[in-house]
Amino acid sequence: YFSWEVLRFLLSNLRMWIEDYRFDGFRFDGVTSMLYHHHGIGTGFSGDYNEYFGLHVDEDALCYLMLANHMIKFLHPECITIAEDVSGMPALCRPVAEGGGGFDYRLAMAIPDKWIQIIKELKDEDWNMGNIVHTLTNRRYEEKYIAYAESHDQALVGDKTLAFRLMDAEMYTNMSVLSPLTPVIDRGIQLHKMIRLITHALGGESYLNFMGNEFGHPEWLDFPRKGNNESYHYARRQFNLTEDHLLRYRFLNSFDRDMNKLEERFGWLASPPAYVSEKHESNKVIAFERAGLIFIFNFHPYQSYVDYRVVIFKYKILLDSDAEEYGGHQRLDHSTEYFSEEYPHNYRPNSLMV
């Protein structure tokens, strides 16, 4: 229950951070816990509307969130607000004028959880393409999501980053370009690039990166606390790693730079959701179209393909995770330009062999 005194304090607090400290937006933490009297504890959300409308919804909390978003937008339209909500409350990210919660974005929290679950629990040959696509595309229509490949929770307090999960101890011994490319480092570098690109291109209307993720930072981030004897040893990011041209971290950083530059050029985040034309389980291939581009991912652990048919009209390589400058094996000819033929494939009228 909110008294008006508490309500005015909370709203004025938001205004203070914007006007006195020049904040340009807020991420509201634990919104799921606010929205329901059960706080989301012991509750699985399937998406059925009965789960979101009823006496179990905390109407005072929902009203506060709507008021907060309305006030922020009324006073400072340039500010953005983000909801950390795992329940999928309908219209939470639609304008208050429509009866929505008024948030601009919600965090796509299932995506980083899915990647870490896959890497920890499955062999490469057991990766499920349909499950990956479902997790990346499972969002409410016309509500904007922030996609991210890796969560700060994974890289804090002793857990491992994506790169560390993939490559672990070899990051300390085999990341030099003067040493042979081992299977562990090769697999880790290639998957790290692919996971970030497919998350960026398919997972939402915005992309979030945690510092160090873009170049596969090898260590977790841990602040001084009793559990580590107040140590500052891991309270840092090693940004110098990307500047050392004898280390392979620069390949990952270069790929991240060009991935973001390509998005700036074509604007897939501001485009409608992708059309997924292929999620092939035995081939381990995912293909989709978005913003006039076609994205093709081969997640097969050892199989490369020649003459692979995909849905497309005209084709020229713009970004290739297998390119030399990204630590790849240069298996594709970038000078080739392909044209499609009227050969129906995956419910589309035209296709070509790549």
d(CA 220, CA 168): 11
Judge whether 162 and 195 are in contact, CB under 8 Å.
Answer: yes
Q: In what order do the strands lie in the sheet with 275-280?
A: 275-280, 285-290, 293-298
Cβ count near 108 (within 10 Å) = 26
DSSP helix/strand/coil, 119 = helix
Residue 29: active-site member = yes
Nearest to 259 by CA among 273, 269, 249: 269
Give phi and psi for 280, each to the nearest 5: -95, 115
Distances (CA, A) of 13 to 23, 153, 286, 330: 12, 26, 46, 54
Question: Considering just the CA atoms, what is the radius of gyration of the chain in Å?
Answer: 22
DSSP helix/strand/coil, 169 = helix
Judge whether 307 and 314 are in contact, CB under 8 Å.
Answer: no
Judge whether 145 and 107 are in contact, CB under 8 Å.
Answer: yes
Judge whether 26 and 14 are in contact, CB under 8 Å.
Answer: yes
Of 19, 29, 60, 142, catalytic: 29
d(CA 103, CA 205): 14
Of 84, 170, 244, 258, catalytic: 84
Residue 333: active-site member = no
Judge whether 258 and 317 are in contact, CB under 8 Å.
Answer: no
| Residues marked as catalytic | 29, 84
